[in-house]
A and B are shown apart, each in its own frame.
Chain A
Amino acid sequence: MEETERMEPFLKVEDLTVQYTAGGEVIKAVNKVSFTLSKGETIGLVGETGAGKTTIVKSILRILPDPPAKIKSGTITFKGQELLSLSEHQMRKIRGSQISMIFQDPMTALNPVFTVGEQILEALRLHRKMSKKEAYTKVCEMLEMVGIPAERYGEYPHQFSGGMKQRVVIAMALSCNPALLLADEPTTALDVTIQAQVLHMMNRLKKELGTSVIMITHDLGIVAEVCDRVAVVYAGEIVEMGDKVHLFDHGLHPYTEGLFHSIPSLTGDETRLKPIKGLPPNPADLPKGCKFAPRCPYASEVCREAPVLLREAEPGHFVRCIKKLAADIKTDMTGKKDKGIDIAAAENRPQGSATDFIKRSRAAREVE
């Protein structure tokens, strides 16, 4: 990583807080979320419905409806530019051209009264100021790239199957070679064989174009397949974040553990699943202490008393849990025990390799 890039990450989200107001209630959708993303990297946001994943990425693009949504605080720095302080006019230049989004439901993301070709063309004409002819050639290229014959330029969305519509949406999002791609559950609406095709294609395009991706998903299988780093989101907070290898091998937070135990394995012989008890908390009435405490098998009084901060358990591996930190990590810490830490600074420190990490944590366990 170059020195300059280390100073200023490609994307830095800091202390993002978003609230919705509905029926006199304040719904705390996103609470002080911070993370960074470097160029060409893919981070996965994992969590259940209503955890605030989509709200986070929509804030980056600033497409949340206001009201009812309100970005209360925080900064989002993209390539050195503070997005939240830009004017709407400046923001429109970034949307679709530098940052674009693949929406979850391809059936509703496309406009039914325009042909798919016209819909992809629009972004190119607007942002790249291409002539009609140039843009047409580019659209045909994009369609071919996502595996749709260019002859289908003039067809309407209803003439395509679900998988093909999703590929049109992807072609549209990638048409202007965005530097950052926000993918909101891009394959949830698709069958497994088509999902495999789409992810394969996204991986290939990511390599070819060097795009950074924020991948929202609830499927840990997709994370294993495409992400470099993972942030687990629960009740509007990041409860655990780290390198994919760290998180899959040494997931620390009880919620992460619960997620892994809830999935039936394809090879194991388990006869009973271990689900997470209870339900996610009401975002209008969040618990005072740890938000996961009411469902957590390890929770005690300390957890319920005061909010738990996100701390660095290992270099680059953050967790928001008193219990797990106390049990797994004893002294080998950064020293900042009582305060939350500056994630961006911590993340940009040179990190030990994954194997180092595994060796160290094994040693720590043996000691115990």
Chain B
Amino acid sequence: MPMLEVQDLKKYFDTPRGKLHAVDGISFCLEQGKTLGVVGESGCGKSTLGRTILHLTEPTGGKIFFGGEDVTSVDRARLKKLREDMQIIFQDPFSSLNPRMTVSEAVTDPLKLTNRYAKGEMEERVNSLMETVGLTERLRNSYPHELDGGRRQRVGIARSLALEPKFIVCDEPVSALDVSIQAQILNLLQDLQESKKLTYLFITHDLSVVRYISNDICVMYMGQMVEMSPSKELFQNPVHPYTKALLSAILVPDIHVKRERVLLKGEVSSPINPKPGCRFAARCPYACKQCEHGQKKVEISPGHFVACNVVTGAGAESL
């Protein structure tokens, strides 16, 4: 049984100009101890997807199953309990911590929400959490502004681990950090996953990071999934024209690799009241008449799904 199953999840926001389709029909299964990477450009709905799964915003449609239980609409009491199992690590460690709380106060905070720990035990728990994430004890009474980005992110991770969750949404946890620190945090997240059997939904726009950390990758474009596949397979054999363009746009720190670049024209169009049909069609070099009517998701090899007419249907030979 998968740890998390999402079926046709939708989240629309009301705006003065109409409905904004932030997440539009996303489905996937995630096994315990695995990582699903979600990639896409800013505004494609990847953060909204993570937040909707956690009920930080209520879904407009679709179903969410957590450990086999339907948690799409749950009451407050159940939700509170559920949140102990589902946590989030935020992108910006500079704004996600309360500037008036010291490190130990910030890490104790979530512990107070349950009655699992007696007053005396809390301190011990905080110490062990700080040790787990690699924060030395002398930082207990430091305030967030006294810490660098990497340490702040460690505090954020300690907070999300406090109640021993099973599933964590990592929303761009390393994007705000320098490369040398980024590698430290990625290693930490991996160690934690191994020792605690954690399940991650890893949201990022950095494709080299996502390849490194994920078992499967879901590529999103304007709220929809365009391709989902095991991580290596996606990089070796990308099929969707958008995935191809996205992968070719990565700058590799190697001067001897000459890569062919697919330069996309234009920019992402508005996700407000989108036209039916493939949302990528306007920028797609292979778009055909059929694309105006929409596309189906097809499994082209085990675990490799693509939503594109050209690949799966009539125009396949033109690729």
> In the bound complex, do residue A275 and residue B253 qualify as a contact, i.e. CB atoms below 8 Å apart?
no
Q: Closest CB of chain A to B24's CB: distance in Å?
A: 19
Q: Is the CB of A248 within 8 A of B182?
A: no
Q: What residue of chain B has the Cβ atom nearest to residue A195's Cβ?
A: B249
Q: Is A162 positioned at the interface, with any CB of B under 8 Å from its CB?
A: yes
* A276 within 8 Å of B (CB atoms): yes
Given A48-B179, A193-B246, A196-B249, verify A164-B208 contact (CB < 8 Å): no
Q: Which A residues from 179 to 232 make CB contacts under 8 A with B?
A: 191-197, 199-200, 218-225
Q: Does A244 contact B (CB under 8 A)?
A: yes
A223 to B253, CA, bound (A): 7
- The reply on B42 being an interface residue by CB < 8 A is yes
Partner among A248, A249, A279 whose Cβ is within 8 Å of the Cβ of B150: A279
Q: Is the CB of B252 within 8 A of A194?
A: no
Q: Are B211 and A264 in contact (CB under 8 A)?
A: yes
In angstroms, Cα B191 to Cα A275, docked, is 14
Check: A140 CB closer than 8 A to any chain B CB. no
Contact B267 A194, beta carbon cutoff 8 Å: yes
Q: How far is the CB of B178 from chain A (nearest CB, A)?
A: 4
Contact A200-B263, Cβ < 8 Å, known A224-B251, A260-B253, A272-B187: yes
Q: A193-B264, A200-B263 are in contact. Are A272 and B209 (CB under 8 A)?
A: no
Residues of chain B within 8 A (CB-CB) of A249 are 255
Tell yes or no: A273 within 8 A of B by CB.
Answer: yes
B283 (CB) vs chain A CBs: closest residue: A193
Let me know if B211 and A248 touch, CB within 8 A: no
Find out whether the CB atom of B190 lies under 8 angstroms from the CB atom of A266: no
Given A192-B41, A279-B148: A221 and B251 interface contact (C-beta under 8 Å): yes
Count residues of A near B (Cβ-Cβ below 8 Å): 44
A225→B264 CA distance, assembly (Å): 18
Q: Are A218 and B178 in contact (CB under 8 A)?
A: yes
A270, B209: Cα distance in complex, Å: 12
- Looking across the interface, which residue of chain B has its beta carbon closest to that of A199? B251
* Interface set, chain A 247-281, CB cutoff 8 A to B: 248-249, 258-267, 270, 272-276, 279
Contact B255 A248 (CB under 8 A): yes
Question: Which residues on the A side are within 8 Å of B148 (C-beta)?
Answer: 279
Main secondary structure of the interface of A (DSSP, over half): helix
With contacts A224-B255, A264-B212 known, is A196 near B187, CB below 8 A? no
A220 CA / B254 CA spacing, docked (Å):
8
Residues on the A chain within 8 Å of B250, using CB: 192, 221, 266
Task: Kindly report which residue of chain B lies nearest to residue A265, judged by CB atoms.
Answer: B208
B266 to chain A, nearest CB (A): 9
Contact A266 B207 (CB under 8 A): yes
| Residue in A162, A193, A245, A263 whose CB lies within 8 Å of B208 | A263
Tell which of B180, B255, B261, B263 has the most Cβ of chain A within 10 Å.
B180
* Cβ of B183 under 8 Å from chain A: yes
Instruction: Tell yes or no: B143 within 8 A of A by CB.
Output: no
> What separation, in Å, do the CA atoms of A341 and B167 have in the docked complex?
56
Alpha-carbon separation in the docked complex, A49 to B149 (Å):
10
Once bound together, how far apart are the Cα atoms of A257 and B69, in whole Å?
48
Q: Which of A49, A191, A195, A224 contacts B254 (CB 8 A)?
A: A224
* A161 CB-CB contact with B under 8 Å: yes
Residue B298, interface by CB 8 Å: no
Nearest Cβ in chain A — how far from B72, in angstroms?
A: 31
- Judged by a CB distance under 8 angstroms, whether B186 is at the interface is yes
CA A321 to CA B159, docked complex, whole Å: 40
A163 touches B267 (CB 8 A): yes
Min CB–CB distance A243 → chain B (angstroms) = 10
- Is B28 interfacial (CB 8 A cutoff)? no
Most buried by B among A161, A194, A249, A273: A273
Q: Mark B145-168, 1 if CB is under 8 A from A, else 0.
A: 000111000000000000000000
Q: Residues of B contacting A264 with CB < 8 Å?
A: 186, 208-209, 211-213
28 pairs across A/B with beta carbons < 8 Å? A48-B178, A48-B179, A48-B180, A49-B149, A164-B267, A192-B41, A192-B205, A192-B249, A193-B245, A193-B246, A193-B264, A199-B251, A200-B261, A220-B253, A221-B251, A224-B251, A224-B255, A248-B253, A258-B180, A262-B180, A262-B183, A263-B183, A264-B208, A264-B212, A272-B187, A272-B190, A274-B183, A275-B182
Those 10 A-B pairs whose CB atoms lie nearest each other, nearest first = A221-B251, A275-B183, A264-B212, A220-B253, A262-B183, A276-B180, A191-B41, A196-B249, A273-B183, A48-B178
